[in-house]
A and B are shown apart, each in its own frame.
Chain A
Amino acid sequence: MNTWLPVLLTAQALVAATPLVLAGLGELVAERTGVLNIGIEGLVLAGCLAGFATAAATGNPWLALLAAVAVGALLALGFGLLTIYARCDQIVAGLALNLVVFGATGTAWTLMQDHGLTTMAEGVGFTRGWCAGWGRDLPLIGPLVFNQYGLTVVVAGLAVMTAWILARTRLGLVLRALGDEPDACAAAGIPVRRWRLLAVVGAGAAAGAAGAFLATMRTNSFVPMMSGGLGFIVLALVMFGRWRVGWMVAGCLLFGLVDALQQHLQAQAGANRIPFQLWQVMPYATALVVLGLVRRGTAGPLMLTKPWG
């Protein structure tokens, strides 16, 4: 049962969905407060490099995660200051952030290669199977729950927590109100810009962590532009999920499933007559089609991309 194809694909989809959900939660909250950061692609990429470099240098994946979180948060802080305090256009600032990170990671990677820092030792990265022993061999829940990356479980918990906070707490109210009617927050004495900045920095940290997961999971090396559009997909998924945690996570799982499916099909015998790009394009095309199928006119946060004050 544990090698039954749907189970294998679902297990793989969970892995693929983990960084998407992680970065998506941050972006969702930031967008709820009214800030759209298309520089999230750059943040993920920066997290990849920071995570890889730290893992390679220290051999500790947790330090790698920490470094990626710090780098993501720091870059997002710059973005937040530009857009929230200096009132720069969010889209344009996000583009600039991407450019800076693309250039900086390329530069840093070349320098690292010059210094021989190109691979990390075997077994440094995160490994699957957070729960030791017999649990992993259980049917269904073995591969789907116990034989997953520890981070996947943590991210699932984060998703539940974020949904709860948004729905049930005053913090959630504040975050939602910031994106819909910041004047109401200001009238209630809530410092609009500071909270928005906090949300943006938090989203940066989450995106950085997602990058670290990418870099220390599937491969044990860094590849320039290895984020491969993950940040952009996250933007699409947040919109697909209509800015609700549950729907966003569902979108991530769907995307992960399509991704797992295309990898599986690609590996099938005879599939190599079709250029691999045609397989790889599947998740992106799916994202576009699914976006087109979402009920139209679903507006996001009312003040998304509008500076305040």
Chain B
Amino acid sequence: MLWLAGIHKRFGGAIALDGADLLVASGTVHGVLGENGAGKTTLMKVLYGLVRPDSGSMKLGGAELTPQSPRDATRLGIGMVHQHFTLVPTLSVRANCVLAAGTGLGRIDEAAWDQRIAALGERLHWHLNPEAIVGGLAVGQRQRVEIAKALLAAGIDADGSLAGRVLILDEPTAVLTPPEVEELLPALRRLAEAGTTILLVSHKLPEVLRVCDALTVFRRGRTVHAGPAADLDAERLALLMVGDEPRATITAGTARPDDDAPLRLDVAALSVPGSLHDLSFSVRAGEAVGIAGVDGNGQRELVRAILGLQPDASGRIDTPGLPAAQRLRGSGRIGVIPDDRQREALVLELPLSDNLALGDHRDPPLARHGWLFASAWRRHALALVERFGVRTPGVAVPAAALSGGNQQRAVAARALHRDPGLVVAVNPTRGLDIAASADVMARLAAARDRGGGVLLVHHDLDELLAVADRVLVLYGGRLIDSGWPACGRAAIGRLMLGLPPHA
């Protein structure tokens, strides 16, 4: 029995947890739900010793629980698998396990560790090669390593029993393909049968309903619902999570554009050594083309090649009416929402107004003959903030001061405000909550509806399918037309793993 009662935590002025409760039976899979900012991750961090609660009490197996650090929590049999993996990519599977679960600093008994890893793999019906370098593994494999190391750290009894252990998984399926999810969920059930208590933090309701025995829903730092999973359906859960707040809805493309609509992007025989092989596709005006696929299958190179940032790309990339040198410069430029807003889209140290000007900064009215006009920058920024609903204390504050959602709104504003002929967006909702995600996706749909061509490269299949008129799957650097919407979602999922679309 794991029992958390009345947990309070505030960060500065913001209340993260406002008397949250959680009661979990041993050896069950327990779903922890809530929107971003509902406090579920903070609560898990409290349980794992990463965050000290201001007040409240915790008990595990009847004993008082006060983990002071993750190390402490691990000793008590609590393991956590973070959303962002904490694996060292340059080290082997074994080394990562030793790093996380080993004690002392002395010589490593490799044979003993291999045996422990193999024993755990057997119990979970997984195979893990201890010699494999983590950086070379697929995401699903990495997650197994992450889970294995958390369990090894939490300790396994001599008879292989995992009774009394607690494993926290924070959004484990967010990075997985559908088939990988299909392999993870049964493994979680097997773990629960072995006695482990599993806390599954997720916002993917169908999965949660399938695998969990019981659920707890959080909203604004409080527990709003707790009970068996069997009593709930997705509709009711969604309502519990968001409360009465209205939410934006996205309309998928209703009418496919004519075949004679002007081409906005025409790619033929595009190759990049080692990552892309002979890609051909096109995007027409008024059309949203989705590129589905697991991250790391060539998305980065594809986008860079289109933007002219991949020098070793070969083949033909044509943006009709837009010379290659002006894809990222000038008034006709491609509207880009890069994958990583902090690394590729913003300069966090610079004011919001500078960030909103990027890309337009050399053109009138912001600049003339190489000279900048500060007042025009301010007006430009204020106009974009207003039009795209960026919540900010002002346009002179550094971009770092904005929340993730508002940073992304700013990036979208910069990409879309000129109604560009072509938009390239990569994972545009990464790390955003439901409201902000819906907002950004709706803006993309609107850009399409106003006659722009949209290329949407997205790892979240559901969001992708909500907007895309056509879906291509990128796997191993090759592009496959899924035939969407004629094909099913499941077929796309299989293509994303390199399997034939039908079993």
Q: Is B one of A's binding partners?
A: yes
* A173 surroundings in chain B (CB, below 8 A): 91, 95, 98-99, 102, 108
Give a binary string over B46-81; 1 marks a CB under 8 Å from any A CB, 0 the rest. Answer: 000000000000000000000001111010000010
Query: Which of the residues A168, A169, A170, A177 comes within 8 Å of B88, measured between beta carbons?
Result: A177
Instruction: Contact check, B105 vs A181: say whether CB atoms are below 8 A apart.
Output: no
Q: Is the CB of A189 within 8 A of B88?
A: no
Chain B nearest CB from A165 CB (Å) reads 9
> With the chains together, A173 CA to B104 CA distance in Å?
11
- Write the nearest CB–CB distance from B377 to chain A, whole angstroms: 28
Say yes or no for B106: interface residue by CB 8 A criterion: yes
If A171-B106, A189-B71 touch, does A184 touch B90 (CB 8 Å cutoff)? no
Q: Are A174 and B99 in contact (CB under 8 A)?
A: yes
Contact of A169 (CB < 8 Å), options: B82, B84, B86, B107: B107
Alpha-carbon separation in the docked complex, A180 to B106 (Å): 20
* CB closest chain-B residue, reference A167: B108
A132 at the interface (CB under 8 A from B): no
A169 — which chain B residues lie within 8 A by C-beta?
105-108
Contact status B70-A189, CB under 8 Å = yes
**Interface residue SS majority, chain A:** helix
| A176 and B100 form a contact (CB under 8 A) | no
How would residues 153 to 195 of chain A score, 1 for a CB under 8 Å from any chain B CB and 0 otherwise? 0000000000000001111011011001101111111100000
> Which of the residues B90, B96, B98, B104 comes within 8 Å of A302, measured between beta carbons?
B90
Q: How far is the CA of A39 from the CA of B100 in the complex (A)?
A: 33
- Distance (Å) between the CB of A192 and the closest chain B CB? 12
Report Cα–Cα, A187/B96, bound state, in Å: 11
Number of A positions contacting B (CB below 8 A): 19
Q: How far is the CB of B48 from chain A (nearest CB, A)?
A: 10
**Nearest chain A residue, comparing its CB with the CB of B92:** A173
What residues of chain A lie closer than 8 Å to B89, measured between beta carbons?
A: 180-181, 302
Look across to chain A and name the residue whose beta carbon is closest to the beta carbon of B150.
Answer: A187
| Closest chain B residue to A188, Cβ basis | B100
- Bound form: Cα–Cα A171–B95 in Å: 11
Is there an interface contact between A188 and B91, defined as CB atoms closer than 8 Å?
no
From A180, A185, A189, A302, contact of B69 by CB (8 A): A189
Q: Chain B's nearest CB lies how many Å from the CB of A39?
A: 25
Indicate if the CB atoms of A188 and B99 lie closer than 8 Å. yes
Measured between beta carbons, the chain A residues less than 8 angstroms from B153 are 188
Nearest-neighbour CB distance to chain B for A185, whole angstroms, equals 7
Selected from B74, B98, B99, B101, the residue in CB contact (under 8 A) with A185 is B99
Inter-subunit contact A181/B88 (CB<8 Å): yes
Evaluate contact between A180 and B100: CB separation under 8 angstroms. Answer: no
A184 and B105 in contact (CB under 8 A), knowing A177-B99, A189-B74? no
CB distance from B233 to the nearest CB of A (A): 36
> Nearest CB to that of B82 among chain A residues?
A187
| B interface footprint on A180-213 (CB within 8 Å = 1, 0 otherwise) | 1101111111100000000000000000000000
Bound together, the chains give a CA A170 to CA B95 distance in angstroms of 8
Across the interface, which residues of A come within 8 angstroms of B70, CB to CB? 186-189
Q: Would you call B106 and A184 a contact (CB within 8 A)?
A: no
Q: Which of A199-239 contact B (CB under 8 A)?
A: none
Asked whether any CB of chain A lies closer than 8 Å to the CB of B237, the reply is no
Name the B residues within 8 Å of A174 (CB-CB): 99, 105
Asked if B107 contacts A180 (CB within 8 A), the reply is no
**Quick one: CB contact mask for B163-206 with A, threshold 8 Å, 1 for yes?**
00000000000000000000000000000000000000000000
Is A184 a contact partner of B96 (Cβ separation < 8 A)?
yes
Please, which residues of chain A bring their CB within 8 A of the CB of B72? Answer: 189
B110 (CB) vs chain A CBs: closest residue:
A168
Question: Is there a chain A Cβ closer than 8 Å to B455's Cβ?
Answer: no
CB of A181 within 8 A of CB of B87, answer yes
Which residues in A have their C-beta under 8 angstroms from that of B82?
187
Chain A residue with Cβ nearest B103: A170
A187 and B154 CA atoms in complex are apart in Å by 13
Give the CA-CA distance A168 to B87 in the complex, in Å: 19
Within residues 86 to 129 of chain B, which ones have a CB less than 8 A from any CB in chain A?
A: 86-91, 95-96, 98-102, 104-108
Q: Contact: A184 with B71, CB < 8 Å? A: no
Please report the C-alpha to C-alpha distance between residue A171 and residue B89 in the assembled complex, in whole angstroms: 18
Q: Which residues from chain A contact B95 at a C-beta distance below 8 Å?
A: 173
Q: How far is the CA of A188 from the CA of B91 in the complex (A)?
A: 15
Q: Is the CB of B69 within 8 A of A170?
A: no
- List A contacts of B86 (CB < 8 A): 181, 183-184, 186-188
Cα A180 to Cα B101 with chains together (Å): 18
- Taking a contact as CB atoms under 8 Å apart, the answer to whether B108 and A176 are in contact is no
Please measure, in the bound complex, the distance between the C-alpha atom of A187 and the C-alpha atom of B71, giving whole angstroms: 8
The smallest C-beta distance from A232 to any residue of chain B, in angstroms, reads 27
Q: Shortest distance in angstroms between A61's beta carbon and chain B's nearest beta carbon?
A: 32
In the assembled complex, which residues on chain A have CB atoms less than 8 Å from the CB atom of B96?
184
Q: A168 touching B74 by the CB < 8 A rule?
A: no
* Docked complex Cα distance between A188 and B49 (Å): 12
Which residues on the B side are within 8 Å of A190 (C-beta)?
99
Bound together, the chains give a CA A189 to CA B106 distance in angstroms of: 17
Report which of B71, B91, B98, B108 forms a contact with A180, defined as CB distance below 8 A. B91
The complex places the Cα of A177 from the Cα of B101 at a distance, in Å, of 14
Contact across chains for A170 and B90 when beta carbons are under 8 A apart:
no
B residues near A187, Cβ cutoff 8 Å = 70, 80, 82, 86, 100
Sample of 14 further A-B pairs with CB below 8 A, known A180-B91, A181-B86, A185-B99: A168-B108, A169-B105, A169-B107, A171-B106, A173-B99, A174-B105, A177-B99, A181-B89, A184-B100, A186-B70, A187-B70, A188-B99, A188-B153, A189-B74
Mind listing 5 A-B residue pairs with CB under 8 Å? A170-B105, A170-B106, A171-B105, A176-B90, A180-B91
Give me the interface of A with B, judged by CB distance under 8 Å.
168-171, 173-174, 176-177, 180-181, 183-190, 302
Nearest first, the 9 A-B pairs at minimum CB distance are: A189-B71, A187-B86, A171-B105, A181-B88, A188-B100, A184-B86, A177-B88, A180-B90, A184-B88
